[in-house]
Structure 1
Amino acid sequence: MLKSIPGVGPLTAATIVAEIGDIKRFPSVKQLTAFAVLDSSVYQSGTFKSNQNHISKRGSSYLRTALYQATVAGISKQVNGPRNEVLSRYYQQKLSEGKASKVAIVATSNKLLRIIFGVWRSETPFRIN
């Protein structure tokens, strides 16, 4: 199922499946995002709340790396255009919002993880609609 997503190859799909395990242990995509450590860390003290948070580094670095690599492969330009049009549009939107390149890639990795969750839970191949 995961190999139907452009940018996710056989090795990346195997890594993602191995690191996540059973998808049914995550009732929501928010919990999967926290497990994959693509959520931002919270830094606050008293009434102060930081607005420049980084992703937290706890959790599986293998999963984070696999998602990052799949995202870069998905947004890469081919002769006929980007490999994954959905990820490419989202990445370009983040760049146009003024995000740095790596910040936009991490945000797009989060989008890819949500796509993976939907494809895996519904057990249907990825389709661009």
Structure 2
Amino acid sequence: MLGDLYAKVSLRFLALNPTSQVVLAVSEKEVMTHIQNLAGYVNPNCWTIEKAQKLMAAAERNPFKETAFPSHLISLELLIHLLPQYQDHLSKLDQSIEDLAQELLEYDWIQSIPGIGTKLAATILAEIGEIDRFDHAKKLIAFAGIDPRR
């Protein structure tokens, strides 16, 4: 309903409103205000109004208005708190990989190829390893599995 399930607004809303029953206990205007506050908007806009309407409609359609097991809510709460931590860890790993790749001369060369950005360049370098072990370009092409003649 909010677009990206893993976005901060989505996770915060889900943490505060974990069931359809909780969403249906308030008015659509309150849901809209809640989304507006979580997103940091001062005034309501088309996005917050649309999302509030969609959330209310989805809560109405949900055949499971109440959660059968409290353990489901506990699991949901734990996962909501773990996701941002995982996202932070992945961001730090991405940055570390990029920092290491920038130390390599080949990193800039590979990025000069149109369509190859920072992540793909680092991935290619990690897969190839030491380029000096290939004494000919044909061996590198064969290693990569992109030889058009095979």
Q: What is the TM-score normalised by the length of structure 2? A: 0.26
Which of the two has greater helix per residue? Answer: 2
Higher RCO, 1 vs 2 (CA within 8 Å, ≥6 residues apart): 1
